[in-house]
Structure 1
Amino acid sequence: MPRGYVFPFDLHTFTDVIKRMQKQPTYLRAGALLFALLIAVIIGVMTAGLLLLLQYHRQYAAHTLRQERLQRHLASATNLLLTSEPVEGGDTVIRSLFDDGRDTVALVRRPWGVFDVGLAYAYDTRDTLANAFLMGRILTATERYALFLADEYRPLSISGKTRIHGDAFLPEAGIRKAYIENQAYASEEVIYDGAIRHSTTELPALNSAILGRLAPYLQHDDTTEWKRAAEDWYGMDASDSLAQLFANTPRLLYSRDSITIRGMPITGQVLLVADSLISVSADAVLDNVLLFAPHIRFADGFSGRLQAFARDSLVVGRGCAFAYPSVLGLVNIPKDSLIHEFQPMITIDSASVVNGLVFSHFPGSEQLLANIKLAKETTVNGQVYADGLLELRGTVKGITLCRRFTLQTPSSLYENFVLGGVMDYTRLSPHYAGSPLLNTGRQGKVLEWLDKKRNETN
Structure 2
Amino acid sequence: MPNRKIRLTAATLPVVMVISVLMLLVVLFVYSLWDMNLLYYSSYHYKRQQQENLNSAIILYSNDSTFLREHNEEKTFRLFETDSSSTVRFLSKQWGLYEALHVSSHNGNFSSTQLLGKKQECDHKAALWLCDRNRALSLSGGTEIRGKIYIPLNGINYTQIDGDYYRGEEIPYTRLGIADAQLPPIDSTSLVIPESLKEYREQSDELPTTTQTYYSFLEPTRFFSTIENPDEIVLRGNAVLFADELKISASSKINEAIIIARKVTIEEGFTGSMQIFCSDSVMIQENVILQYPSGIYLKAEIDYPFVSLSDNSEMNGYVIILGRIRDEELLFPSYRQSDKSLLRGLLYVDGTTNIRGEISGAVYLKDCFFSSNMNVYAGTLYNTRISRNDNIAYPVFLSGKYTRKEIKTIY
Counterpart of 2:126 in structure 1: which amino acid? Y
Instruction: Give the RMSD, CA atoms, in angstroms.
Output: 3.0
User: Is 1:70 paired with 2:86?
Assistant: no
| Larger RCO (CA under 8 A, 6+ residues apart) | 2
Which residue in the other structure is 1:15 paired with? none
Distance 1:246 1:140, change over 3 A: closer
After superposition, residues 143-222 of structure 1 pair within 5 angstroms as: 143-180=124-161, 182-187=162-167, 189-191=169-171, 195-217=175-197
Which residue in the other structure is 1:375 paired with? 338
Q: Secondary structure at the match of 1:325?
A: strand
With the length of structure 1 as denominator, give the TM-score of the two structures.
Answer: 0.78
The 2-side partners of 1:173 and 1:424 are apart by 22
Residues 422-450 of structure 1: per-residue CA shift (max 9 Å, x gap): 2233xx3x422212212353221111122
Counterpart of 1:325 in structure 2: which amino acid? P
The 1-side partners of 2:170 and 2:228 are apart by 46
Distance 1:278 1:34, change over 3 A: farther
Gap runs ≥5 in structure 1: 1-25, 334-339, 452-458
After superposition, residues 97-116 of structure 1 pair within 5 angstroms as: 97-100=79-82, 101-116=84-99
> In the alignment, which of 304, 307, 313 is matched to residue 352 of structure 1?
313
Does the 8 Å contact 1:363/1:369 carry over to 2? no
Q: Secondary structure at the match of 2:193?
A: helix
> In the alignment, which of 275, 283, 289 is matched to residue 251 of structure 2?
283
> In the alignment, which of 391, 406, 410 is matched to residue 369 of structure 2?
406
Structure exhibiting the larger radius of gyration computed from Cα positions: 1
Q: Secondary structure at the match of 2:94?
A: strand
The 2-side partners of 1:390 and 1:252 are apart by 34
After superposition, residues 285-324 of structure 1 pair within 5 angstroms as: 285-324=253-292
User: Is 1:395 paired with 2:358?
Assistant: yes
Greater helix content = 1
The Cα shift of 1:360 comes to 0.8
Residues 97-118 of structure 1: per-residue CA shift (max 9 Å, x gap): 2334442101111111101011
With the length of structure 2 as denominator, give the TM-score of the two structures.
Answer: 0.86
Does the 8 Å contact 1:81/1:109 carry over to 2? no
Which residue in the other structure is 2:385 paired with? 422
The 1-side partners of 2:365 and 2:312 are apart by 22
Does the 8 Å contact 1:155/1:171 carry over to 2? yes
After superposition, residues 220-239 of structure 1 pair within 5 angstroms as: 224=199, 226-227=200-201, 229-233=203-207, 236=208, 238-239=210-211
Does the 8 Å contact 1:167/1:193 carry over to 2? no
Which residue in the other structure is 2:221 paired with? 250
Which residue in the other structure is 1:337 paired with? none
The alignment of Structure 1 onto Structure 2 pairs a total of residues equal to 400
Which residue in the other structure is 1:271 paired with? 240
The 2-side partners of 1:56 and 1:165 are apart by 58
Does the 8 Å contact 1:215/1:331 carry over to 2? no
User: Is 1:88 paired with 2:48?
Assistant: no
Distance 1:364 1:141, change over 3 A: closer
Identity %: 20
Does the 8 Å contact 2:305/2:325 carry over to 1? no
> In the alignment, which of 415, 434, 439 is matched to residue 399 of structure 2?
439
